[in-house]
Amino acid sequence: MRFPFQNVALIGKHKAPEIAEPLLRLAGFLSSRGLNVVVDSLTAQYLKGSPYAAMSLDEMVKTMDLAVVIGGDGTMLNIARTLAPHQIPLVGVNQGRLGFLTDLSLENMQDSMAAMLQGYYVTEERLLLSARVLRRDIEVFSGLAFNEVVVHRNHVSSMVEFEVRIDGEYLYNQRADGLIVSTPTGSTAYALSAGGPILHPSLDVLALVPICPHSLSNRPIIVKSSSVLEILMHRTGDIRVRYDSHTNYDLQLHDKIIVTRHPEPVCLLHPLGHSYYNTLREKLLWNHTL
């Protein structure tokens, strides 16, 4: 991570024309501070007459010191997978309510960014997953996931059958609707809905959360993040593996999915005073009385 920041990329929610006004407002503010501002090329199509250069994400990774994402957690998930391997820190601005990953608001983004540009921020590293699909020992697909890697049935009514090994050691055979391999970041997403635990993002662990397992005794399990997880498909049909709801691949009988921790983490920057527990209270409505 390079500091002080000089080259800043602004990235807006995909197919959201309403992002133009706040994005241009922030761009003008950053530019007035002497920073070089570029805009994601997909976002730039909504900025008519913009004076700012447009770059693709692939171009940004070569020159940017910081990326500011305006949208929601879904936008941040997508951008993080692309930029994290290049060690570019991310700041998230939420369009609406407070997000788990996008904790600046449109109203306070300029004040928050002014402080962060002076070095007043909290740095947080979060782990990223890498998952490969092997078919007859040949890699046929791979991808990264910030929240989770999920094996699940698509449109069939029958259960998925698979075997799980951790660091080469047999764990179990499972009949279920699927399996979620979740990072601590993803523990408040699909894994939470499937009955998994909430994991603080600083924890160096992964969660394996079965989706509607046939055996009621089969519960989520937490393993160290350095583990090598293998999922071998024993019964398929219309089954696929999904990465953060953005990328998926159809699986066949005997396909093996290998999930490991990616060597580069996602680097998030937060304003001073950021509290994960406050975010939980706000997002999960823990402050509401019955």
CATH number at residue 150: 2.60.200.30
Task: Give the range of the structural domain holding residue 218, as residue numbers without chain letter.
Answer: 129-261
Q: Quick one: 165 and 192 in the same domain?
A: yes
Options 40, 58, 65, 73, the catalytic residue? 73
List, for residues 259-277, the tens digit of each pLDDT value.
999 999 999 999 999 999 9
Same domain? 94 vs 77: yes
Residue 111 among the catalytic residues: no
Domain count, the chain: 2
Q: What are phi and psi of 141, to 5 degrees?
A: -165, 150
Q: Are residues 136 and 251 in the same domain?
A: yes
The verdict on 167 and 145 lying in the same domain is yes
In a domain, 290, yes or no: no
CATH of the domain at 20: 3.40.50.10330
Q: Is the same domain home to 27 and 65?
A: yes
Q: What is the pTM of this model?
A: 0.93
Give kind and range of the element (H or E) at residue 107: none
Q: What are phi and psi of 164, to 5 degrees?
A: -120, 135
Q: What is the pLDDT of residues 52-96, one digit of tens each?
A: 999 999 999 989 999 999 998 989 999 999 999 999 999 999 986
Same domain, 84 and 174: no
Q: How far apart are CA 77 and CA 144, in angstroms?
A: 10
